[in-house]
Amino acid sequence: MDLSTGYMGLALRNPLVASPSPLSHTLDGIRRLADGGVSAIVMFSLFEEQLRERAERTYRLVDEPAESFPEALGYFPSVVDEDVGPRGYLDLLERAVSAVDIPVIASLNGITPESWTGYARAMQDAGAAAIELNIYYFPADPEISGPDVEQRHVDVFQRVKAAVTVPVAVKLKPYFSSPGAIALRLDEAGADGLVLFNRFLYPDIDLERLAVRPMVDLSSPADARVPRTWIALLRGKVRASLAATIGVEVPADLARYLLAGADVVMTTSALLRHGPRYATELLDGLSSWMRHKGFQTVDELRGKLSAPDITDHAAYERRLRHSDASRQRRRLRPLVNESAARDDDLEPAKQRRESSVDLRPVALVAKSRGPRHASTVAGMPAFRPVPATGAPHPQAAQPRQRQ
């Protein structure tokens, strides 16, 4: 079975790529990812604020950043690991590149277009096979318009693209009024890859401590439908390679993304849940399915179920929605009845807790408090998902007594 594929001009032995996660925080973790069977590794992101803070502290730069992060963003935590500042990141990248025999892609998390082309170059010099831009820009200020947000993405991309010769991918969020339009703009601007989509780290509210706490839910296969639809719609319409990310849990998810038209499929949640060796299981499952269906190569199946090249994409979406709508309705009816019969809704909450990761022990630091040293950041074991502990406080779970 030939699983080889191409991504942004990189020849990969299979279409499964490890997306950024704490699994790449250490050399040991990176080796384990490579041994586990993925064909490339995108390292965790180096955050621009982190770059800036470090640079200011180390070199006493006085320039104010062109953009300041809105205060409200303190609400949205970022993964900040003091032990892996720019120097540490570049050292790790360099060591990773020589330690594994698969491409290592560096990930840069930028907000301002101006401040970090130098780091992109440094990543290239450290041996990064490509650079993925994780433009984790959250327009918390309601005065910022949609076109402004889009322009920032294009500006950031163009700056970095002009600064390096390695391929540059942009990891997009799905929250554009027209995700296809920004994808086309970036493609026209020369993006080598589009990664669909990022997941934002939305915080939760701790009712016991009356505090906001960082929280990441690992994804489930249902979350793959949004990126898969956009991959299917963009296949054949952009020159850029398409990377699918979100919601791979079983081999079928991998196959579905490829059928939709992904050049590569990335995964974080599955590797966090089951460990880096799970990559081999996913790939073996893909191979068996391909054998069963008579496909010899990934190229034969890629894009087989992408959106037809019609101008009326809305019609395609409607067709997807309605093609088996009655079957869906029959499937949903018992669930609807069952849930109506239930007098409490704690069950879904319980299920959710089982796939949640409480990132407090892994050094998620709220921006409002500023980046800190995180002594807990070490190797992969510390980052393995643990079931979130915070069961609702008994009182919080009780219905309120009527006076």
Q: Which residues bind ligand FMN (CB under 6 A)?
A: 19-22, 44-45, 79, 107, 134, 171, 198-199, 216, 218-219, 245-248, 267-269
C-beta closer to ligand FMN: residue 122 or 131: 131
C-beta closer to ligand FMN: residue 128 or 295: 128
Give me the least distance between CB of 272 and ligand FMN, in Å please.
Answer: 6
Q: Are 243 and 42 in contact (CB under 8 A)?
A: no
Under DSSP, the state recorded for 34 is: H
C-beta closer to ligand FMN: residue 51 or 216: 216
Give me the least distance between CB of 105 and ligand FMN, in Å please.
Answer: 10
Give me the least distance between CB of 273 and ligand FMN, in Å please.
Answer: 9
C-beta closer to ligand FMN: residue 295 or 383: 383
C-beta closer to ligand FMN: residue 205 or 386: 386
The reply to whether omega before 157 is within 30° of 0 (cis) is no
**Both structure tokens of 326:** 């009655």
Q: At 385, which amino acid appears? A: P
Q: Comparing C-alpha atoms, which of 19, 60, 64, 59 is closest to residue 42?
A: 19
Alpha carbon 387 to chain centroid, angstroms: 20
Give me the least distance between CB of 230 and ligand FMN, in Å please.
Answer: 14
Give me the least distance between CB of 10 and ligand FMN, in Å please.
Answer: 18
The span from the CA of 73 to the CA of 156, in Å, is 19
Give me the least distance between CB of 22 and ligand FMN, in Å please.
Answer: 5
Tell me whether strands 211-213 and 204-206 are parallel, antiparallel or unpaired. antiparallel
C-beta closer to ligand FMN: residue 216 or 290: 216
Give me the least distance between CB of 291 and ligand FMN, in Å please.
Answer: 25
The span from the CA of 300 to the CA of 291, in Å, is 12
Q: Are 364 and 79 in contact (CB under 8 A)?
A: yes
Cβ neighbors of 402 (< 8 A, separation 6 or more) are none
The counts of H helices and E strands in the chain are 16, 16
Q: At 352, which amino acid appears? A: R
Tell me whether strands 40-47 and 16-18 are parallel, antiparallel or unpaired. parallel
C-beta closer to ligand FMN: residue 173 or 295: 173
